[in-house]
A and B are shown apart, each in its own frame.
Chain A
Amino acid sequence: SVSHSQITRLYSRFTSLDKGENGTLSREDFQRIPELAINPLGDRIINAFFPEGEDQVNFRGFMRTLAHFRPIEDNEKSKDHNGPEPLNSRSNKLHFAFRLYDLDKDDKISRDELLQVLRMMVGVNISDEQLGSIADRTIQEADQDGDSAISFAEFVKVLEKVDVEQKMSIRFLH
């Protein structure tokens, strides 16, 4: 599991982001990070930290969300096969990415949702029609049960060959 010094470092980071010094972070605290503010999907990522309907996240919640990005090798050391699936399993990492697309949290990526996320990623550089056809094509390739939306299972199938473990993991330096 996470080492003591990693927790201390992240806590130190948490407190330096917490400008209001009240033990929780708000969305503004995240938006103050310039490199995150220029990320096209910055707002979606920030949203992932806040549970439904809440505006503040405490350190526990902060760590929970970041735990999705621990490298999978770490799990080899603590083989707890009877416990719940660890947050940084391949499946949970994929679920995190799925939730970035799934705006209304109905466990399906509809054409509309895909269009909205695509629009965030490309800004004003692509026309509506072109973006629409990209969205249509993507859904067509992924959709298997014919409901013109991508379920989580279909999402996993499309990405079965992608090296999720490496691309959705962040390593600590030491």
Chain B
Amino acid sequence: MFLLLPFDSLVVNLLGISITVLFTLLLVFIIVPAVFGVSFGIRRVYMKTLLKIFQWATLRIERGAKEKNHPLYNPSVNGIIAKEPTSLEEEIKEIRRSGSSKALDAPEFELSDIFYFCRKGIETIMDDEVTKRFSAEELESWNLLSRTNYNFQYISLRLTVLWGLGVLIRYCFLLPLRVALAFTGISLLVTGTTVVGYLPNGRCKEFLSKHVHLMCYRICVRALTAIITYHDRENRPRNGGICVANHTSPIDVIILASDGYYAMVGQVHGGLMGVIQRAMVKACPHVWFERSEVKDRHLVAKRLTEHVQDKSKLPILIFPEGTCINNTSVMMFKKGSFEIGATVYPVAIKYDPQFGDAFWNSSKYGMVTYLLRMMTSWAIVCSVWYLPPMTRQPEEDAVQFANRVKSAIARQGGLVDLLWDGGLKREKVKDTFKEEQQKLYSKMIVGNHEDRSRS
């Protein structure tokens, strides 16, 4: 017992010193720059080093697989089967053309028509455009996280050691650091906004509120080791406008709000989120809806319109897809935000999944598990493009306007532009789409009403 005492105090001393050093480093290199909005560039150096290591690791796996004659699983990036982008009409005409010598213009039914539906159906069973958007993207090269590896076997000692080192660094060094930062950021946000809330309304309050918000979001950005590249910042959203962006995860909010001052829109949550929401709204007018109000579309539209028409109020941040998509495509934009008549500022966000996949698969992981996965990845790397503002033209309706904005975002971010509803993650597809197909096919076998007298 007595022998342990001197060792005991030595250990305690060492622990105390290392914690002090850690916190000083934290303060100097991370929190102070976050407060003032500057950066030392440490994260970019980190990113470049990681990239080199990943490339080495991938080559090593490939070499190892060749030596042992193991077949390598290559993830499919562009789909696994060849699909022809032809229409129902063209395909069925082609099938009939090869089968019979009858005139093709006369609408009629052929037994061979079934081949079209059959093949299309089987193609979608093998690979469809929609369901794969709701699970994480597959990577081409390995990034030393076992969660993204499909070829992980004991390939070489060096590789396994590297992976083990990676685990150590991520869980024992980066994770506590990030958790500490996140804690600091969130508590500063809550206390800061509450304090600012006590001030009388005016220029001073606005100024302080803006900087409290920005500062805390910047700390949160560093808590995730997010390396963000902003493009075209001159197009940043202005007061009285609506900012729309594609949605991949809750982190999108932190990424955008650390570079601009927005009014948030969302549902009131309980727990920690609720606390944060109630504090934030004291400092500046965010738009929070009760759960029951969310269903009432007119109420939502009315409140948003009121907010937007007040030019002194901040731009609203909205994600029209309504749910998280895996960042390979942009799905249908709900038309609600496009009916209000405000200027729309589109923003495209594209994550680089190499360093950590930011997609939140809400059916697979809860919020806490998700945040833990984020904080044990290498980094979150993304690019943000601010697109030029768009307004609704007189000849287009809300849906067309929404699609136009969506195409612009998809094009800029290099994402696939889909018309499918993100709600298909949880709900069944509407019957109207099947009815459209049936209508199209009916035209092929009986033509239009005028031709009916012929048969």
Residues of A at the B interface (CB closer than 8 Å) are 4-5, 8-10, 13, 16-17, 30-42, 45, 66, 69, 96-97, 100-101, 117-118, 121-126, 130, 133-134, 138, 142, 150, 155, 158-159, 161-164, 167-173
Contacts and interface: CB of A to CB of B under 8 A. Distances in A.
B376 to A, nearest CB: 24
Given A34-B433, A42-B434, A122-B442, 4 more contacts: A13-B127, A96-B118, A122-B441, A168-B119
B125 A162 contact: no
Contact of B71 (A5, A133, A138): A5
B118 A161 contact: no
| B: interface residue count bin | 35 or more
A168 B128 contact: no
A27 B385 CA distance: 42
B434 A100 contact: no
Contact of B113 (A13, A31, A34, A121): A121
Interface stretch (B55-63, B129-137, B342-350, B397-405): B129-137
B79 interface: yes
Contacts of B128: 33-36
Contacts of A100: 114, 118
Interface stretch (B93-101, B209-217, B250-258): B93-101
Given A39-B124, A171-B82, A118 B109 contact: yes
A167 B119 contact: yes
B452 A130 contact: yes
Contact of A30 (B94, B116, B125, B452): B125
Contact of B118 (A66, A97, A133): A97
B438 A121 contact: yes
B433 A38 contact: yes
B114 A97 contact: yes
Given A8-B73, A13-B80, A34-B429, A40 B131 contact: no
Contacts of B121: 36, 39, 41-42, 45
A60 B158 CA distance: 38
A162 B96 CA distance: 7
Contacts of B125: 30, 33, 36, 45, 66
B99 A4 contact: no
A167 B131 contact: no
A113 to B, nearest CB: 12
A37 B109 CA distance: 23
B46 to A, nearest CB: 32
A159 B441 contact: no
Contacts of A40: 117, 434, 437-438, 441
B122 A133 contact: no
Interface in B416-432: 420, 424, 428-429
Contacts of A5: 71, 73-74
A4 to B, nearest CB: 5
B112 interface: yes
Contact of B438 (A8, A35, A101, A123): A123
B115 A164 contact: yes
Contacts of A17: 131
A172 to B, nearest CB: 6
B445 interface: yes
A16 B124 CA distance: 13
Contacts of B436: 38
Contact of A121 (B94, B127, B441): B441
A56 to B, nearest CB: 16
A42 B127 CA distance: 15
B455 interface: yes
Interface in B124-159: 124-132, 135
A134 to B, nearest CB: 5
23 contacts: A8-B73, A13-B127, A33-B130, A34-B420, A37-B428, A38-B434, A38-B437, A42-B434, A45-B117, A45-B122, A101-B111, A117-B114, A122-B442, A125-B442, A126-B445, A126-B446, A134-B445, A158-B111, A167-B94, A167-B95, A170-B122, A171-B82, A172-B82
B123 interface: yes
Contact of A159 (B99, B120, B131, B420): B99
B422 to A, nearest CB: 11
8 shortest interchain CB distances as A-B pairs? A123-B438, A125-B442, A162-B99, A45-B121, A35-B124, A38-B433, A34-B429, A171-B82
A33 B133 CA distance: 12
Nearest to B72: A5
Contacts of B396: none
Contacts of B100: 161
